[in-house]
Amino acid sequence: MAATKASKEQKYDRQLRLWGDHGQEALENAHVCLINATATGTEILKNLVLPGIGAFTIVDGHTVSGEDVGNNFFLSNNSIGKNRAQAATELLQELNSDVSGNFFEECPDKLLDNDPEFFQRFTLVIGVQLPESTCLRLGSVLWSASVPFLVCKTYGLIGYMRLVVQEHTVIESHPDNALEDLRLDQPFAELKNHIKTYDLDSMDKKDHSHTPWVIVVAKYLEKWLSEHNCQPPKNYKEKEAFRQLIREGILKKENGVPEDEENFEEAIKNVNTALNATKVPTAVEDLFNSEQCNNITAPTLPFWVMLRAVKEFVLNEGHGSLPVRGTIPDMIADSKKFISLQNVYREKAMQDAAAVFKHVESLLQSVGKPPESISEKDIKLFCKNSSFLRVVRCRSLAEEYSVDSVNKDEITSCMDNPDSEMVFYLMLRAVDRFYQQHSRYPGVYNYQVEEDISKLKLCVNSLLQEYSLNVNIKDDYVHEFCRYGAAEPHTVAAFLGGSAAQEAIKIISHQFVPFSNTFIYNAMSQTSATLQL
Amino acid sequence: MADAEEPMAVDGGQMDGGCDWDGRWNHVRKFLERPGPFTHPDFEPSTESLQFLLETCKILVIGAGGLGCELLKDLALSGFRLIHVVDMDTIDVSNLNRQFLFRPKDVGRPKADVAADFVNSRIPGCKVVPHFKKIQDFDDSFYRQFHIIVCGLDSIIARRWMNGMLISLLTYEDGVLDPSSIIPLIDGGTEGFKGNARVILPGMTACIDCTLELYPPQINFPMCTIASMPRLPEHCIEYARILQWPKEKPFGDNSLDGDSPEHIQWVFDRAQERAAEFNITGVTYRLTQGVVKRIIPAVASTNAVIAAACATEVFKIATSAYIPLNNYLVFNDVDGLYTYTFEAERKENCSACSQVPQDLQFSPSAKLQEVLEYLTENASLQMKSPAITTTLEGKNKTLYLQSVKSIEERTRPNLCKTLKELGLSDGQELAVADVTTPQTVLFKLNFTT
């Protein structure tokens, strides 16, 4: 029975409050491919099926072993001997009837041999516990097809993720602690006029105490500027003096004791950030200077067209500033004063967005596209988020692995710190090398642990030598990785499962910012690191 | 990643229990039966550790919701079989996006029961015992039976209660803590894309109350804003909930039920009217529900991460396989993935675990009301509705108690009396009871001039 829209709203309510209906729509239109239904793989998929991914396809040529069932919630012991893709699909599908689950009983290598275009249909491919050769082959195919690729591996107590995406744009990054866009350092005309309508000195107590702090700061700033040669307070001393100036403006009772004026206290508290210079963030400036922004053609994606339009706005109507965001924080004020102040910012934001809209139209026309191809709604959203735009670009796996372009600096500088997680990346690379040479992982059987230590150490040394990495890896790590015996403990797989799934959701929804480009989790110390490789 | 066709990868005999199959515990056994360079100093490789997990180690999971479901799965797949789970809630449709042990047909049933059934049937040999109860329904004899307790709660009050309970189980001999009386507490919490996991060894490491300032008190909107100066859509919703509902009693004497669509619709309609009056935009049904129910957004992924970190710690502590987290992990995946691990410090005069009587500094002419406000507003205490008793002339006297109507009415006049008028003297001991702790907290009154 298909879920009604209302029941889906109820079911997904808690996540809709994070990524909205449009984020959910993107999720429901996505088709994700998982390669290898190991515990790590099924945990990742579980966290995509539960929130309602449109469809998933598992590609796995393995048959289910007793060991597989032992750490995997989505395999049961009566599926031992059956194909793992099929077995896992059944139990994952059962989690959410809104989702469509599919499987292919095939090794990814075979698919790459016979039908490499198979992978082009997916929104995202997640490869789990892949040997290096398969990973690199897949990476190359997906890079050419511009399909995002997320590589995940649980190896003993270490979790590893690598994101491979050429260019991922984010309009709604939802930053945690964004600074407000109040323009007090350069009030636009309508704001100036609105501030003029206030005369603090002639107000009665009620109005005085319920004037928004933004107006209070603006008024006292005007006073300061007139007394300081149009120079705003810059250093701590001056800001302190400015705060004191505001404090002296607090009404006093007949006995000289200051009244309780919370709005003035708010003004004083906000002096620090309120006087920040309005400027285009460096990250956005960099985007303005990028090739995609300056070379708009017919196939150019809307993100870059809108960005270019905003750039044109900044150079023209914006007088060096981004479109006004249009939101203000709550502050002590009576309803009327607050709403009218809020409207000043809102109307300016609409005006600025309309100007950006005109630039979008003319850009589209210049490349022969209909002006309606980018909606007003999208442009408004873009303008509102213009300070927070982000673009994530990851190097290809080929670049990471090539001797010519390996990121030696990142590796050696991290390895200078004895606590760095970089050593685990190198060990995983060494283990991959071991697998290539011996067609097995080190220490899988008890009797192998001791003797594999020296073999693995050879792999470590050949790895460091091949890449001319002048770093030292303690023997303890070689021993530990032999000890792991390629185990995939469930709790580490589950940690990675949650982490990877959310990164996948970020890629699919284009909301929140994905990591770039390598993430290592160490369950021994409960620490993690993000590396650029 | 061992090839499936190969024989059992870890050399060892068939486990008993009858329901195990070849290779079932291979992933776990490598950490119990092999020596390693990073293991806990107390660790000794042995085939008996797995037996301990499967047959003896008793774990209590508190909460069968977002974290609880994940914890049960994680523990079961790590070898734990004797698991109890406590949850006082029933299943709601909005749980289904992350509480994966529940299905649409289970809506309305107790979470603990459904969760236990699911895990026991999916993981052969696992014996999860459910308790559809509040944690306060159990006493020390219940909690004492567990080796480790792991919490997936959504309430700070409940956490503090649990924390207090485990502290009350500690025994001291000649002032020295008996280590066998310590039950480790692993606590996890999540909100949207943020989460934390911590390891608490009661009596030894920082407890919940030691770091109470990490949980700033929930801010409610000031009444004057709601009543006469709304600015945000939230203010309009609170107006309908706090002022209009009790006045108009639209559904009789019933209190507002956040789970009733009719109730929410009523609040929504009234909130929209109020918003229109003040030209405020943004009142939506979703926002109304969120404000009335104080909804915290939640997704499967964050719960998966935090529960996994907690379960890893349970495993480490139960097996001494590795040194446990010392002692607080913070996680945030809004922008990339961020973790921060640090050692939360014990508070010397912690009201829960320091055994030091708490200091109350007041002038003898201060009113009891001031003491009450201090107990609720102080960031380190954050009591909810403290009941204050003392001994006067050899007899137990209740100075103020809120939770029983008749006693509240009888003792309310005391709030306006000064401490001197109430007969209290310098150095007087006050015993304070509150929902945040299972044991009374002792305070010592210090008169200031």
User: What was the pLDDT predicted at B3?
Assistant: 43
The reply to whether residue A526 touches residue B35, judged by beta carbons under 8 angstroms, is no
Distance, in Å, from the CA atom of A524 to the CA atom of A99, rounded to the nearest integer, reads 35
The reply to whether residue B312 touches residue A526, judged by beta carbons under 8 angstroms, is yes
The reply to whether residue A489 touches residue B78, judged by beta carbons under 8 angstroms, is yes
Q: What residues in B contact A127, CB-CB < 8 Å?
A: none
Name the residue of chain A whose CA is nearest to B337's CA: A515
Nearest to B23 among A67, A175, A514 (CB): A67
Q: What residues in B contact A95, CB-CB < 8 Å?
A: 100
* Alpha helix ranges (H) inside B203-299: 223-228, 233-238, 245-248, 261-277, 285-292
Contacts with B98 (C-beta within 8 Å, 6 or more apart), sequence order:
A14, A50, A51, B66, B69, B298, B299, B300, B303
User: What was the pLDDT predicted at B272?
Assistant: 98
Percent of chain B residues topping a pLDDT of 90 = 84
Q: Is B198 on the interface with A (CB under 8 A)?
A: no
Give whole-number Cα distances, A242 to A217, A227, A249, A275, B194, in Å.
9, 11, 11, 11, 37
The reply to whether residue A440 touches residue B73, judged by beta carbons under 8 angstroms, is no
pLDDT digits (tens, 9 = 90+) for A209-248: 999 999 999 999 999 999 999 999 999 999 999 999 999 9
Nearest to A17 among B280, B295, B325 (CB): B295
Q: Is B299 on the interface with A (CB under 8 A)?
A: yes
Domains of chain B, each with CATH number or no CATH:
29-192+299-325 (3.40.50.720), 223-293 (1.10.10.520), 358-447 (3.10.290.20)
The distance between the two most distant Cα atoms of chain B, rounded to a whole number of Å, is 84
User: What was the pLDDT predicted at B8?
Assistant: 44
Three-point CA angle B13, B15, B16, nearest 5°: 130
Average pLDDT on B152-178 reads 93
Distance, in Å, from the CA atom of B239 to the CA atom of B226, rounded to the nearest integer, reads 5
Distance, in Å, from the CA atom of A81 to the CA atom of B296, rounded to the nearest integer, reads 43
Q: What residues in B contact A71, CB-CB < 8 Å?
A: 27-28, 77
Name the residue of chain A whose CA is nearest to B305's CA: A495
pLDDT tier for residue B10 given thresholds of 50, 70 and 90 = low
3-state secondary structure of A192: helix
Name the residue of chain A whose CA is nearest to B26's CA: A67
Name the residue of chain A whose CA is nearest to B275's CA: A335
Q: Which residues of B237-273 are buried (b: 16+ CB within 10 A; e: fewer)?
A: bbbbbbebbeeeeeeeeeebebeeeebbebbbebbbe
Q: Which residues of A327-359 are buried (b: 16+ CB within 10 A; e: fewer)?
A: ebeebbbbbebbbebbbbbbebbebbbebbbeb
Q: Is B337 on the interface with A (CB under 8 A)?
A: yes
Give A79→chain B minimum CA distance, Å.
Answer: 12
Q: What residues in B contact A495, CB-CB < 8 Å?
A: 304-305, 308-309, 312
* Closest residue by Cα to residue A213 from A326, A328, A327: A328
Residues of B (248-287) whose Cβ lies below 8 Å from A:
278-280, 286
Nearest to B74 among A335, A476, A490 (CB): A490
Name the residue of chain B whose CA is nearest to A77's CA: B21
Q: Which residue of A491, A513, A521 is the best one to mutate when testing the B interface, meaning the one whose CB has the most B CBs within 10 A?
A: A491
The reply to whether residue B1 touches residue A441, judged by beta carbons under 8 angstroms, is yes
Please identify which residue in the block is written with the tokens 């040479």. A437
Q: Sign of dihedral through CA atoms A439, A443, A445, A449? A: positive
The reply to whether residue B304 touches residue A68, judged by beta carbons under 8 angstroms, is no
Q: What residues in B contact A11, CB-CB < 8 Å?
A: 93-94, 96-97
Residues of B (381-440) whose Cβ lies below 8 Å from A:
none
Top pLDDT among B449 and A83 is at: A83
Name the residue of chain B whose CA is nearest to A49's CA: B97
Low-confidence spans in chain A with pLDDT less than 50: 1
Give B117→chain A minimum CA distance, Å.
Answer: 14
Contacts with B99 (C-beta within 8 Å, 6 or more apart), sequence order:
B64, B65, B66, B68, B69, B91, B111
The reply to whether residue A494 touches residue B25, judged by beta carbons under 8 angstroms, is no
Contacts with B242 (C-beta within 8 Å, 6 or more apart), sequence order:
B223, B226
pLDDT digits (tens, 9 = 90+) for A435-490: 999 999 999 999 999 999 999 999 999 999 999 999 999 999 999 999 999 999 99
Given a contact cutoff of 8 angstroms between Cβ atoms, the answer to whether A337 and A210 are in contact is yes
Q: Is B304 on the interface with A (CB under 8 A)?
A: yes
User: What was the pLDDT predicted at B12?
Assistant: 46
Q: Which residue of A97, A126, A160, A335 is the best one to mutate when testing the B interface, meaning the one whose CB has the most B CBs within 10 A?
A: A335
Q: What residues in B contact A441, CB-CB < 8 Å?
A: 1-2
Tokens of A187: 């009030």
Tell me the Ramachandran region of residue B203: left when phi exceeds 0, alpha when psi lies from -120 to 50, beta otherwise.
left
Distance, in Å, from the CA atom of B122 to the CA atom of B126, rounded to the nearest integer, reads 9
Q: What residues in A contact B286, CB-CB < 8 Å?
A: 13, 16-17
pLDDT tier for residue B17 given thresholds of 50, 70 and 90 = low
User: What was the pLDDT predicted at B214?
Assistant: 81
Distance, in Å, from the CA atom of B27 to the CA atom of B10, rounded to the nearest integer, reads 9
Name the residue of chain B whose CA is nearest to A442's CA: B2
The reply to whether residue A503 touches residue B300, judged by beta carbons under 8 angstroms, is no
The reply to whether residue B124 touches residue A488, judged by beta carbons under 8 angstroms, is no
Given a contact cutoff of 8 angstroms between Cβ atoms, the answer to whether B198 and B185 are in contact is no
Give B323→chain A minimum CA distance, Å.
Answer: 8
pLDDT digits (tens, 9 = 90+) for B185-231: 999 999 999 999 999 999 999 999 999 988 777 778 999 999 999 99
Taking the C-alpha atoms of A46, A51, A57 and A58 in order, what is their torsion angle to the nearest 10 degrees? -10
pLDDT digits (tens, 9 = 90+) for B254-277: 899 999 999 999 999 999 999 999
Beta-carbon contacts below 8 Å between A and B:
262
Tokens of B315: 């495993």
Q: What residues in B contact A487, CB-CB < 8 Å?
A: 26-28, 30-31
Distance, in Å, from the CA atom of B51 to the CA atom of B136, rounded to the nearest integer, reads 32
User: What was the pLDDT predicted at B5?
Assistant: 38
Q: Sign of dihedral through CA atoms A135, A137, A138, A144? A: positive
User: What was the pLDDT predicted at B440?
Assistant: 86
Three-point CA angle A83, A87, A89, nearest 5°: 120
Three-point CA angle B333, B336, B337, nearest 5°: 50
Give B353→chain A minimum CA distance, Å.
Answer: 26
Tokens of B384: 């909810």
Nearest to B315 among A64, A95, A491 (CB): A491
The reply to whether residue A483 touches residue B8, judged by beta carbons under 8 angstroms, is no
Q: Is B311 on the interface with A (CB under 8 A)?
A: yes
User: What was the pLDDT predicted at B394?
Assistant: 85
Look up the pTM and report it: 0.94
Give A279→chain B minimum CA distance, Å.
Answer: 22
Query: Hey, which residues of B are catalytic here?
Result: 224
